[in-house]
């Protein structure tokens, strides 16, 4: 049966992708499936359908689209086509997401965001995603965190972790995001882009931490995320269990980051040392004599 898609958010890109997700609340998992039969025959992008989106949904889905574009670009499955789609999406998102967030009725901004989401979808359905999605899927399964929000929170952490392997690509992203100019040192441009991702997320109300996250869950979440990334995604830098746990701990809510201190164990009372020449259980001679006199009275 052919699919005709009309997206109502600017974020998932599902109107042009092979991917779908099944949520399994009983086992607290999100399962990703991919099949070319899931690609719609046709998609209609109508910004009028997006003007009523609440601000948090506009922000989360917009950052979802940014994550799709960035991960498609920094992975090693990219092609000339996917790179062009991804970079174009990044340019449009940086320019239009704050506008759409600030004024939901801004049709021009909504239209550009819809197009950016589609471009990002065209990029990642061919070049795939990466560590951000591997972690976000676990957060969505465990805590029912909206996917776009989980991506938005984890994107800065994963990019900083991946930065040593993708300095040149981060520099190119900085130029397309208009936070730097061609010809500037790559390292400076890369750092500027990393800072700009955090600033963009903050400007549309994305929290830095995930309130639902708990320290006790981190080892299992990290293990599942590493397995998903290792078996599916062309990541530029492979994360280990320790790497993933560190990134998750970086987004723990503030109160969970303060580890309570255990009270120091109480010392046992010191026993008085017996005087030299006397055993610890010896009784004073005077008391012994007194008892003998009493007994013989």
Residue 45 located in a structural domain: yes
Q: Confidence band (pLDDT; 50, 70, 90) for 1?
A: confident
- Determine the average pLDDT of the residues in 239-252: 98
pLDDT value at position 238? 98
Other Cβ atoms within 10 Å of 212 Cβ, number: 13
Sign for the pseudo-dihedral over CA of 179, 182, 185, 187: positive
pLDDT score for 192: 99
Residue 268, domain member (yes or no): no
Q: What is the spatial distance between Cα 186 and Cα 192, in angstroms, rounded to a whole number?
A: 10
Residue 105 pLDDT level (bands cut at 50, 70, 90): very high
DSSP assignment of the chain, as one string?
---EE--SSSS--GGG-SEEEEEETTTTEEEEEE-GGGS-SEE---GGGGTT--HHHHHHHHHHHHHHHHHHHHSTT--HHHHHHHHHHHHHHHHHHHHHHH-TT-HHHHHHHHHHHHHHHHHHHHH---HHHHHHHHHHHHH---HHHHHHHHHHHHHHHHGGG-HHHHHHHHHHTTSS-TTS-HHHHHHHHHHHHHHHHHHTT--SS-TT--GGGHHHHHHHHHHHHHHH---SS---HHHHHHHHHTTS-HHHHSPPPPPPPPPPPPPPPPPTTS-TTPPPHHHHHHHHHHHT-
Band of residue 258 on the pLDDT scale cut at 50, 70, 90: low
- Residue 295 included in any domain: no
Compute the average pLDDT of residues 151-164.
99
More confident call, 152 vs 280: 152
| Closest to 76 measured CA to CA, from 156, 118, 130 | 130
With respect to residue 283, please indicate whether it lies within any of the assigned structural domains.
no
Ranges 94-108, 166-180, 240-254, 264-278: which has the least confidence? 264-278
Burial of 162: CB neighbours in 10 Å, binned 0-12, 13-18, 19+:
buried
pTM of the complete model: 0.85
Measure the CA–CA gap between 118 and 185, rounded to whole angstroms. Answer: 32
Is residue 295 exposed (0-12), middle (13-18) or buried (19+ Cβ within 10 Å)? exposed
Is residue 186 situated within a structural domain?
yes
Q: Give 161-212 pLDDT, tens digit per residue.
A: 999 999 999 999 999 999 999 999 999 999 999 999 999 999 999 999 999 9
- 86 occurs within a structural domain: yes
pLDDT of amino acid 33: 87
Better-scored residue on pLDDT, 59 or 262: 59
- Structural domain span for residue 213: 4-257
Determine contact, residues 59/66, Cβ cutoff 8 Å.
Answer: no
In a domain, 205, yes or no: yes
CATH number of domain containing 93 = 1.20.1090.10
For residue 171, being part of any structural domain is answered with: yes
Mean pLDDT lowest among 32-46, 140-154, 249-263: 249-263
What's the domain count of the chain?
1
Average pLDDT of the chain, as a whole number: 90
């Amino acid at each position: 049966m052919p699919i005709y898609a009309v997206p109502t958010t600017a974020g998932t890109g599902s109107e042009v992708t092979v991917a779908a997700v099944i949520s399994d609340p009983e086992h607290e998992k999100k399962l990703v499936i991919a099949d070319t039969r899931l690609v719609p025959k046709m998609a209609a992008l109508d910004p009028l359908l997006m003007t009523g989106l609440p601000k948090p949904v506009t922000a989360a889905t917009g950052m979802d689209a940014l994550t799709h574009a960035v991960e498609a670009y920094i992975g090693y499955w990219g092609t000339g086509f996917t790179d062009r789609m991804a970079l174009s999406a990044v340019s449009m998102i940086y320019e239009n997401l704050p506008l759409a967030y600030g004024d939901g009725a801004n049709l021009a901004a909504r239209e550009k965001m819809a197009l950016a989401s589609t471009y990002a979808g065209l990029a990642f359905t061919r070049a795939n995603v990466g560590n951000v999605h591997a972690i976000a899927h676990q957060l969505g399964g465990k805590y029912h965190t909206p996917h776009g929000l989980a991506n938005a929170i984890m994107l800065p952490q994963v990019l900083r972790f991946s930065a040593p392997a993708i300095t040149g690509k981060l520099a190119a992203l900085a130029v397309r995001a208009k936070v730097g100019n061609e010809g500037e040192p790559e390292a400076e441009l890369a750092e500027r882009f990393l800072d700009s991702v955090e600033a963009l997320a903050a400007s549309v109300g994305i929290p830095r931490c995930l309130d639902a996250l708990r320290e006790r869950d981190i080892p299992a979440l990290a293990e599942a995320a590493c397995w998903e990334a290792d078996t599916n995604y062309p990541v530029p830098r492979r994360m280990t269990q320790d790497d993933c746990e560190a990134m998750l701990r970086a987004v723990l809510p503030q109160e969970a980051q303060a580890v309570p201190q255990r009270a120091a164990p109480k010392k046992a009372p010191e026993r008085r040392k017996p005087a030299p020449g006397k055993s610890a259980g010896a009784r004073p001679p005077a008391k012994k004599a007194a008892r003998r006199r009493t007994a013989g009275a």
